[in-house]
Structure 1
């Protein structure tokens, strides 16, 4: 039986909006709803952003695809804004609450964002699907809510344009989700997300692979101010890649969930995965490049390289390169904050 349960996407950023648009493009009547935050207090938001993010109802989205050939499609997606004057509890209860909450927020926003909709979730029937960068770190943050957590990850690339009115699907990657929701995996695969279900152990290994890609691509594209594919032109990239991954693979193999299958995670596999993601998303602007270079906003570094450093310290392992990367990104954040 096809998956027809409503999906509420928490986080109206590039991946969340792209996911909603891809679903509606293939399934125009599918019950998918964006849950956005109210930006009344965000002084950095433009007038158009504020207008868009304060309106509950229907959101017009322009979906631009770069592959397999350039195309543009205009779609309408239901949207509710948490905390807006137009937001009413009944809006989210039209399907008897939130059954499938897909979390695509920034990693450092996930805990607070889930708390904002927690009253619409039921411990017996709801699921929280985590598809943030740094999902392993976010999982630890959300465990206290006692709602079943399902891990997912994607290497698709997307970014927003035109004051967040347009979403660009810039790189066609792959998507993975724990095998507790096989019908959802089938839905995602049918709309072009190239989705596969994985057992829990394999999912944890995959998330360490994704973390390796995030720990390499995200901060280095922000530091070098380049798109993903342009990293391969940087002379220092190969050495930095290997140093970051050396430390990460040591920490990953100390994680009981990732070693439960008996086979250790290898550096060679992680390095190959990083290169695969770079090739698949060569034209994409990483989320940290967008945060640091384009938006002058806070980054997710604490949930990426910072998570590796934290887990390493807990196990008595020094992760000096990852620690240095964290420091360099923090310096860029400080410079942006001070207007430099």
Structure 2
């Protein structure tokens, strides 16, 4: 990647391209199916693959496996319980009820923003180990960035747009997840096995501009031009009824679609409009963390092509999805004031920490 940027796409030119106004209108209004952050669809896991011409794989990227296996987990184990407890139990937020008929918040606000606080604290916890993992200094965290991209989906058009929870941008791109051989094998992948899927069920068509935004804030693109990790959160299960949590499959769909859209916009910023409808000279890669603060799923997405008008022709985009499960089952009380985390799942914890230091 470094040689590619220095020879054909200088870093300064790439940074300047992403530093332009986030919304870049490439055409007049066009009718497209719109996917937004609060969207839920009937067959979320299958529809997401069809919309983005994505093949699922069954293993971690090799580069991530090396990071994960080499992680000295004991450095973080003593910090993780206080990090969770400070977010879930001890950080309080004043809750003002606007309507008399609205159910009373029996948590007194302590859980209302728990997943947001947790991910912020986990990121700060990881930064305390920057001496051992100096590339942590290359990360930039943005809250509620706007992401937008539009693309051909067979004979129709799709667009993704809206504010997501958090993104990490980085000075240097992530190492390519899957090699050329794996990419070429994807040519033989056949989407006909998903032919009975209701592709656009629950989506609505609107007249929209074909705009592109990577989610990078105005002050960061020149220094942090590359996507690193998208963080998708849900705190519904911590709010009293009638609010309830979003099904995990819907959150994973949201993570996949917005990661694809983010990388698509990044590729257009880097290579220009003429790259639309073509295979990329070098893949764009990014991670995604999906959580309600207790249950975690992880995604590794590799964008290989912007040629999405035909599903079965050419190389496919690639993703590995690890629906890892619960980081811990519950918080236990010890005495009147003291709390503790029960049965920490080190498998999930190792993957989670490795996402930050990859």
Q: Which has the higher contact order (CA 8 A, sep 6+)?
A: 2
Instruction: Decide which structure has the larger Cα Rg and report it.
Output: 2
More strand by share: 2
Compute the TM-score of the two structures, normalised by the length of structure 1.
0.24
